Amino acid sequence: GGSAGGRTPRGPGTRDSKKPLPVAKGSLPDTMEILGVGSIKLVPPQLVDQLGFEAMCNRVFLDTTTNTTGSTIATLRTASDGGGWDVVDPWEIPPEADVEGSWKRAYVYGFTTLEDPTTEDPSELWVYYNARDGWEHAREAIGVSRIRF
């Protein structure tokens, strides 16, 4: 974790901080504890104004009422100080823990984004991601969510 600066992404670089860039909790209930953040992806720059966010990230959480973990894909905007991220929607693509048999019952993660490839004038951001249908002995699948703007 942390941040570094250099002339190229491969370096050589100078470490600015050993602390990970902060991602705010957002409007998650008090019973949700963030355990980790990963897989931050920037959305196509030409869609930022229409979407109202600049990036998406996967966040692993613990629901202290059920003592179960899960993950969600949240939308992000650069923090005002530029040193982290503010959460726009912590549940942009949530698991469906209460839906028996859902292909994304426990976790949603490992994603990529692209503009709607079926049209010259896109009005959707497509988000392809992995999900798990449970916790123990679960199956994994890949799906797509379309965010309209």
Mean pLDDT of 77-93: 89
Positive or negative, the Cα torsion across 91, 93, 99, 103? negative
pLDDT band at 92 (very low <50, low <70, confident <90, very high): very high
Res 22: pLDDT: 67
**Residue 23 to residue 36: CA distance in whole angstroms:** 10
pLDDT band at 134 (very low <50, low <70, confident <90, very high): very high
Q: What is the pLDDT of residues 110-124, one digit of tens each?
A: 999 989 889 888 889
**Residue 135 to residue 9: CA distance in whole angstroms:** 37
Positive or negative, the Cα torsion across 41, 45, 46, 52? positive
Of the chain, the end-to-end C-alpha distance in Å amounts to 33
Res 13: pLDDT: 82
